[in-house]
Amino acid sequence: MVRLAALLVLSLAGAAAAQDTPPVVASDPPVLAEPETGSEAMPALPSPAVADLPEHSGAPMPAVDTNLAALVLKAHPVVQAVMALLVASVFAVLTIFLFKAVEFTLAFTRLSREARALSASPALEAVPGSGPLAQTLQAARAEAAALPATLTADLRLAARERLDLSLSRIEANAVRQLRSATGLLATIGSVAPFVGLFGTVFGIMNSFLAIAATQTTNLAIVAPGIAEALLATGIGLAAAIPAVMLYNRALRRIAEFRHRLADGTAEILRRFSRACDQRMGQGG
Q: Which domain holds residue 104?
A: 83-113+130-139+156-194+239-283
Q: Is residue 36 in a domain?
A: no
Tell me what pLDDT residue 52 has. 45
Q: Is residue 248 in a domain?
A: yes
Q: Is residue 232 in a domain?
A: no
Nearest to 85 by CA among 245, 225, 238, 206: 238
CB 72 within 8 A of CB 231: yes
Contacts of 115 (CB under 8 A, 6+ apart): 133, 260, 263, 264
Q: Is residue 13 in a domain?
A: no
pTM: 0.68
Tell me what pLDDT residue 80 has. 85
Q: Is the dihedral of CA 115, 116, 121, 127 positive or negative?
A: negative
Q: Is residue 166 in a domain?
A: yes
Tell me what pLDDT residue 57 has. 45
HEC letters along the chain: CHHHHHHHHHHHHHHHHHHHCCCCCCCCCCCCCCCCCCCCCCCCCCCCCCCCCCCCCCCCCCCCCCCHHHHHHHCCHHHHHHHHHHHHHHHHHHHHHHHHHHHHHHHHHHHHHHHHHHHHCCCCCCCCCCCHHHHHHHHHHHHHHCCCCCCCHHHHHHHHHHHHHHHHHHHHHHHHHHCCCHHHHHHHHHHHHHHHHHHHHHHHHHHHHHHHHHCCCCHHHHHHHHHHHHHHHHHHHHHHHHHHHHHHHHHHHHHHHHHHHHHHHHHHHHHHHHHHHHHHHHHC
Q: Is residue 91 in a domain?
A: yes
CB 121 within 8 A of CB 134: no
Q: Is residue 160 in a domain?
A: yes
Contacts of 163 (CB under 8 A, 6+ apart): 139, 140, 143, 269, 272
User: pLDDT 10s digit of each residue in the chain, 284 long?
Assistant: 555 555 555 555 554 454 555 555 455 555 545 545 544 544 544 444 444 444 444 445 444 456 666 667 777 788 888 889 999 999 999 999 999 999 999 999 999 999 998 888 887 887 888 889 999 999 998 888 888 877 788 888 888 899 999 999 999 999 999 999 999 999 999 999 999 998 888 888 877 887 788 777 777 767 777 888 888 889 999 999 999 999 999 999 999 999 999 999 999 999 888 888 888 776 54
Tell me what pLDDT residue 8 has. 53
Q: Is residue 171 in a domain?
A: yes
Number of domains in the chain: 1
